């Protein structure tokens, strides 16, 4: 490789400019999430790699029907057990009941903490440069992989609720970087399917609204014009008390420094020492 070829190669990678995490997620790594959406794809891409996950209390899918997406892909996203140890830390119960450390006798050439988009991308690109005998370990607190690039499911009061995760931001493959496009080709992903399946003008003429449910607000009401209608006018249609309408409008409209006289550092220290509920209660 000549010097000029090396420079051009670096430029293709974007090495001549600063790269933020957002750039990384929108570029190279985005293709990896789609490419590794199945376990077969994962092991094909990371030949010889090992996946490890905390599957403690991992739920068993009992939803009938082979058409159920998690049954097809094996990827559910976040579930209650995912937050087990984070909640233990929050509740000051971690050190008393956490699993005891165990000696690891295996050796690896690369250990990646986090099996999301960034972690999978790191493992994939390392595998392309390393020898075929290189061992890669990917650790994650889920029993599947993909990070936020998938749907999330939770059971609340016996009812399953779901939402898309970061998948809502994996779009516009035509705008991917040169490296990301090359990666998609390597992994056999045909991005043209995206434009056949996705209505690019779906949201073009749609407005925004807020739905107030009967269980919480006493009546079912859809209030349209969010962020297009002045706040007092928008809130006047909402099934809220006059005091609540006034306070919400004040939060969005009023330009008041409630910590007047304090330096930026003092404000940060103050806000870090109280909850948001305490802050709003003190400045009603």
What confidence tens digit (pLDDT) does each residue in 207-219 have?
Answer: 899 999 999 999 9
Is residue 203, in this structure, part of any structural domain at all? no
Predicted local confidence at residue 75, as pLDDT: 67
Among 197, 218, 239, the domain-final residue is: 197
One domain, residues 260 and 168: no
Identify whether 49 is part of a domain. Answer: yes
Residue 81 lies in a domain: yes
pLDDT at 49: 45
Q: Please give the average per-residue pLDDT across 185-210, as a whole number.
A: 81
> What's the rounded mean pLDDT across residues 49-69?
49
Average pLDDT over residues 169-188: 77
Q: Do 160 and 104 lie in a common domain?
A: yes
Same domain, 132 and 214: no
Number of residues written out for the chain: 284
pLDDT at 82 over 90: no
What is the domain range of residue 267? 209-282
**pLDDT tens, residue by residue, 109-145:** 999 999 887 898 889 999 989 988 999 999 988 877 7
> Could you tell me if 158 and 29 lie in one domain?
yes
Same domain? For 41 and 146 the reply is yes
Residues 16 and 77 in one domain: yes
Three-state secondary-structure class, residue 137: strand
94 & 217 share domain? no
Computed over every residue of the chain, the mean pLDDT equals 75
Of 174, 197, 220, which residue sits at a domain end? Answer: 197
Could you tell me if residue 202 is inside a domain?
A: no
Same structural domain for residues 163 and 54?
Answer: yes
Which of these ranges, 68-72, 90-94, 95-99, 138-142, has the smallest mean pLDDT? Answer: 68-72
252 in the same domain as 181: no
**Residue 184 contacts residue 191 (beta carbons within 8 Å):** yes
The alpha carbon dihedral of 73, 74, 80, 82 has a sign of negative
Residue 84 in any domain: the answer is yes
What's the mean pLDDT in 190-202? 78
- Which range among 35-39, 239-243, 244-248, 257-261 shows the weakest confidence by mean pLDDT? 35-39
Pick from 195, 221, 194: which is nearest to 209 by CA? 221
| pLDDT at 123 (0 to 100) | 92
Are 193 and 259 found together in one domain?
A: no
Helix extents (H) in the chain:
3-13, 21-26, 28-35, 39-45, 69-73, 84-90, 94-97, 117-129, 178-186, 192-197, 214-217, 231-235, 242-253, 264-272, 276-282
Whether residue 204 is contained in a domain is answered as no
Same-domain status, 34 and 170 = yes
Number of domains in the chain: 2
Q: Tell me: pLDDT of 236 over 80.
A: yes
pLDDT confidence tier of residue 15, bands split at 50, 70 and 90? low
pLDDT at 148: 72
To the nearest 10°, report the CA torsion of 26, 27, 31, 32: -100
Determine how β-strand 110-113 pairs with β-strand 50-53: unpaired
User: What is the spatial distance between Cα 189 and Cα 32, in angstroms, rounded to a whole number?
Assistant: 10
Whether 4 shows a pLDDT value over 70: the answer reads no
The 3 state secondary structure assigned to 32-46 is HHHHCCCHHHHHHHC
Nearest Cα neighbor of 76 from 184, 155, 159, 171 is 155
On whether the pTM is more than 0.85, the answer is: no
Residue 193 sits in the same domain as residue 214: no
| pLDDT at position 55 | 41
Residue 65: is it exposed, middle or buried by C-beta count within 10 angstroms (0-12/13-18/19+)? Answer: exposed
Where a domain ends, among 197, 225, 247? 197
pLDDT at residue 30 is higher than 50: no
Asked if residues 41 and 120 have their Cβ atoms less than 8 Å apart, the reply is: no
pLDDT of residue 61: 46
């Amino acid at each position: 490789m000549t010097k000029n070829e090396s420079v051009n190669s670096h430029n293709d990678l974007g090495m001549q400019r600063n790269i933020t995490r957002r750039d990384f997620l929108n570029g190279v790594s985005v293709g990896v999430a789609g490419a590794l959406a199945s376990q077969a794809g994962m092991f094909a891409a990371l030949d010889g790699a090992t996946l490890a996950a905390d599957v403690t209390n991992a739920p068993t899918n009992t939803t009938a029907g082979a058409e159920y997406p998690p049954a097809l892909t094996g990827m559910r996203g976040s579930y209650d057990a995912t937050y087990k140890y984070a909640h233990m830390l929050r509740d000051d119960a971690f050190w008393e009941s956490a699993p005891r450390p165990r000696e690891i006798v295996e050796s690896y050439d690369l250990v990646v903490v986090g099996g999301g988009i960034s972690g999978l991308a790191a493992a994939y690109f390392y595998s392309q440069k390393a020898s075929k005998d290189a061992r890669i370990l990917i650790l994650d607190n889920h029993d599947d992989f993909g990070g936020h690039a998938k749907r999330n499911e939770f059971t609340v009061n016996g009812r399953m609720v779901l939402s898309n995760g970061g998948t809502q931001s994996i779009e516009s493959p035509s705008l991917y970087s040169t490296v990301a496009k090359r990666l998609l080709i390597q992994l056999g992903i045909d991005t043209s399917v995206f434009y056949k399946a996705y209505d690019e003008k779906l949201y073009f003429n749609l407005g925004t609204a807020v739905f107030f449910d009967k269980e919480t607000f006493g009546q079912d009401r859809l209030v349209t014009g969010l962020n297009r209608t002045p706040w007092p006018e928008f809130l006047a249609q909402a099934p809220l008390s006059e005091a609540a309408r006034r306070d919400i409008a004040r939060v969005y409209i009023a330009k008041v420094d409630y910590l007047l006289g304090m330096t930026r550092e003092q404000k940060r220290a103050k806000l870090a020492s109280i909850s948001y509920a305490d802050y709003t209660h003190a400045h009603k």
